[in-house]
Structure 1
Amino acid sequence: MSPNPPLRILDGIRLVAFDLDGTLVDSVPDLAAAVDAALRSLGLAGVDEASVRDWVGNGSRKLVERALEALDAQDTDPEAAHEAFLHHYRLAPCRATRLYPGVREALEGLRARGLTLVLITNKPAAFIAPILETLGLSDFFDLTLGGDSLAAKKPDPAPLLHVASRFGVTPSVCLMVGDSRHDIEAGRGAGFRTLAVPYGYNHGDPVAASAPDAMVESLGELV
């Protein structure tokens, strides 16, 4: 990575789209607790937080499917397991979820520059507001999209193209910030510039392998 990529990656940018889980917040403790409780309520063995950390990234249904696959629970109805997960996650979506270092400073700095900030996550939309409100992030975002807000979710570029159209900007002046290959693939497919952080969830693989346009160790480096 060449010196000072954040300065160049932001040059001319008018809209910044952020992923949520693994990028702005570490939500795995609460997700793992909900998955574990859901599985146990169905008479299955529980799962550990480390495993859940590798399963996050494609939405809640895929998260539950991966848990069932890991337990070889072929006789368990995936939809019933998903509903059980949603029930338990609703009870405590932000009990142990925490901001990563530098996130608030980055959002404050980018907002001060007059940039449009949006959130595009594969998490169900119903959980976005409780988390943002609890962590004091609600006022930073002009629009939030969950994995069920549109017909498609990341890595499909459709949500990114939707926000570009919504705010009347071309993809070339938009930046996608995420922690996984799904974010980078969606950004590239939409014609956004891409910025990755290495500390999140990418199924155990380094996100650098997806060749984002730039990387930062902390989002605080953006300001």
Structure 2
Amino acid sequence: MSKRWISFDLDGTLMQNPFGAWVFPEIARVISIQLGREHDIVSEMVAEHEQRMSQKRYVEAYDWDDILASRCDAWSIEKMIDIESLVRKHSVMPKVKLLEDGILQMLEEIKKRGFSLAVVTNGFYKFQAPVMEALGLLEYFDEIITPERAGTGKPDPVILQKLQGEVIAHVGDRLDHDVQLANRSHVTSILIERNLPEELLKLQPRMRANDHGMPLFCLEKWRRECKNLLLLELPELFMPRMVIHSMGELLSALDEQGMG
């Protein structure tokens, strides 16, 4: 019998990683010490990441060690930091956390319904696995698809093709990565958005996506993702098929769609 998959994004969807609050600030401190002055190396790294993404160099865009090495070369200093080691150092609670209570129980229930679970993330395995392990997530997933393993990243549909069987739905928090990936792959796109306005919050998940207020809400969200407030029209590929405000809604949302 062919496997039926539900795939999940990680960061912003299931968990909070330590990069923003702990890993990047430590990198900045070490580099500033090496240079002998305060220097915002993180902004340079993020700019390099965004440039690589715009060039669809999805694997290189999330190779933070390579990005850091390139910035160190530019400043003629030695790269003395191993980012994987920093991630492991900071993968302890409360530096990392699950974004909701009950997430592990929800994953267990989905597995009981006969689904196979996959992570489809743009983070390298060496950066994601320590966080997943610390939070108890690792054991729930049958596959973990990452850019350096797949040879590409979201939103390239090729990354979902690494799953053998039928992908029923992909759940994520970003329109440009997750929703676009699912729609391009002809898979049900499920957006998790924990900051829904009240008028959308009161609707059922399958009704939210079709509500007249959703296109404008998604356009504003896409502008924030792109850091471009001048975008005027949201591509249809970026419109989710279902919208949930918490992982606690996912099971009922799957039932609504006849997927449960």
What TM-score does the superposition give when structure 2 sets the normalisation length?
Answer: 0.61
SS in 2 for 1:152: coil
Higher relative contact order (CA closer than 8 Å, sequence separation 6+):
1
| Alignment pair present for 1:217 and 2:245 | yes
Q: Is the 8 A contact 1:125 1:146 kept in 2?
A: yes
Identity of aligned residues (%): 25
Name the structure 2 match of 1:177: 171
Distance 1:89 1:131, change over 3 A: closer
CA separation of 1:192 and 1:213: change in aligned 2, threshold 3 A: same
For 2:114 and 2:126, the matched residues in 1 are separated by 28
> 1:149-208, CA deviations, whole angstroms, 9 ceiling, x for partnerless residues?
121011111111111xx2x33x5xx211001121111111222111011149978349xx
Distance 1:139 1:78, change over 3 A: farther
Larger radius of gyration: 2
Cα distance, 1:139 vs structure 2:
2.3
User: What is the alpha-carbon distance in structure 1 between the residues aligned to residue 222 and residue 26 of structure 2?
Assistant: 24
User: Are positions 1:23 and 2:10 aligned together?
Assistant: no
Q: How many residues of Structure 1 are paired with residues of Structure 2 in the alignment?
A: 192
**Contact between 1:154 and 1:183, CA under 8 Å: does it hold in 2?**
yes
CA distance in 2 between partners of 1:63 and 1:216 (Å)? 34
Deviation of the 1:132 alpha carbon: 2.1
1:202-213 superposed matches below 5 A? 204-205=224-225, 210-213=238-241
Give the equivalent residue in structure 2 for 1:4.
Answer: none
In the alignment, does 2:26 pair up with 1:37? yes
Q: For residues 94-151 of structure 1, what are the alpha-carbon distances to aligned partners after superposition, in whole Å with 9 as ceiling and x for unaligned? A: 4411111142232122112111111111111113332222111222111112221121
Q: 1:94-109, aligned counterparts within 5 Å? A: 94-95=92-93, 96-101=95-100, 102-109=102-109
- The farther-off stretch of 86-95 and 115-124 is 86-95
Counterpart in 1 of 2:88?
90
Unmatched tracts of structure 1, length 5 or more: 1-12
CA distance in 2, matches of 1:141, 1:186: 20
Structure 2 residue aligned with 1:8: none
1:4-56 deviation digits (Å, cap 9, x = unpaired) = xxxxxxxxx931000011100022x44431111112211243589xxx8xx99
SS of alignment partner, residue 21 of structure 1: coil
Q: Distance in 2 between matches of 1:63 and 1:38?
A: 11
SS of residue in 2 equivalent to 1:149: helix
> TM-score of the superposition, structure 1-length normalised?
0.70
